[in-house]
Amino acid sequence: MAIVEVRQVSRFFLSGEARIKALDNVDLDIEKGEFTAMVGPSGSGKTTLLNQIGGLDHPDTGTITIEGRSITDLDRKSLTELRLWKIGFVFQEYNLIPVLSAQENVEYVMMLQRVSAKERQLRAKQALAEVGLASMEHRRPMELSGGQQQRVAVARAIVSRPAIVLADEPTANLDSKTGASLLDLMHQLNDQHRITFLFSTHDPMVMERANRVVHLKDGRIAREERKPAMGNLSVSVNSDAESGTA
Ligand SMILES: Nc1ncnc2c1ncn2[C@@H]1O[C@H](COP(=O)(O)OP(=O)(O)O)[C@@H](O)[C@H]1O
Ligand SMILES: [Mg+2]
């Protein structure tokens, strides 16, 4: 069974008189342990698709299941619960809580999960160590660089070992070197713990690190590629036709 099954999902938006088809009958399966990049020009539907899978928005037609459970017909409360336990989110703007330390930001999810204080602390420390921030647990987001903040966001996303981590352009605000090292980190977590990642990107360097690349165009899946694992190799990008997309 796939971790995520997207079936015939469409999503429309009204923009003035126009009706925009942000997603047009999308079918997608994500298997456990996959490390998938979703690419495509701006406006091709990447964010909209991630939002449907993450239960942050509802499709107009079609169904989505997470670990076999339909999320498209869940009530609000059950959906919130499912999101809390099954899905980790990483956003372009990090979305950390500014008044909380790195440690407290990572603990926050576990507070909602009603994990005991002692275990929360232990697991948050472990997660921060895993992302290379062992010595920075007391710093607030403002006292961390962009790359470090995104590492905190990754620690927060993986701390409860969700079924899948969704990341919408996680490297968009990082310089290319920092972005590459963030991707290496995600890949390492994927290798070591078989955490499933689905992320969107414009960045050819980031794309290069994925094992599977799904190309979106005008709200449809235009094509996809699968590659053997690249591990942490710092490969030079052989820019193909896709690298010009913005
Ligand atoms: N809330 C919204 N209201 C109106 N149009 C939207 C909304 N969200 C997305 N769209 C439109 O849907 C299309 C897909 O957008 P999006 O998923 O953000 O693309 P991407 O993330 O690939 O840049 C675009 O044409 C965008 O303008
Ligand atoms: Mg987007």
pLDDT at 232: 46
pLDDT for 227 equals: 84
State how far the Cα of 106 lies from the Cα of 84, in Å rounded to an integer.
13
According to DSSP, the residues that pair with 19 across neighbouring strands are 14
Where are the domains positioned within the chain? 4-243
* CA 23 to ligand 1: nearest atom: 14
- Those residues of the chain that have pLDDT short of 50 are 231-246
Tell me whether strands 69-70 and 18-30 are parallel, antiparallel or unpaired.
unpaired
* Structure confidence at residue 229 (pLDDT): 58
Q: For the domain with range 4-243, which CATH number is right: 3.40.710.10, 1.10.8.60, 3.40.50.2020, 3.40.50.300?
A: 3.40.50.300
pLDDT of residue 246: 40
Rounded distance from Cα 22 to ligand 1 centre (Å): 6
Element (H, E) at 130: helix 117-130
pLDDT value of residue 203: 85
- Closest Cα to atom 1 of ligand 1: 13
pLDDT for residue 244: 40
Taking only the tens place, the pLDDT of each residue in 77-108 is: 999 999 999 999 999 999 999 999 999 999 99
Q: Which of the listed residues 9, 10, 12, 13 should we mutate to test ligand 1's pocket, taking the one with most ligand atoms within 8 A of CB? A: 13
Please state whether the predicted TM-score (pTM) of the whole model is above 0.75: yes
Q: For residue 180, how far is its CA from the centre of ligand 1 (angstroms)?
A: 26
**Please, are residues 237 and 204 in contact by the beta-carbon 8 Å criterion?**
yes
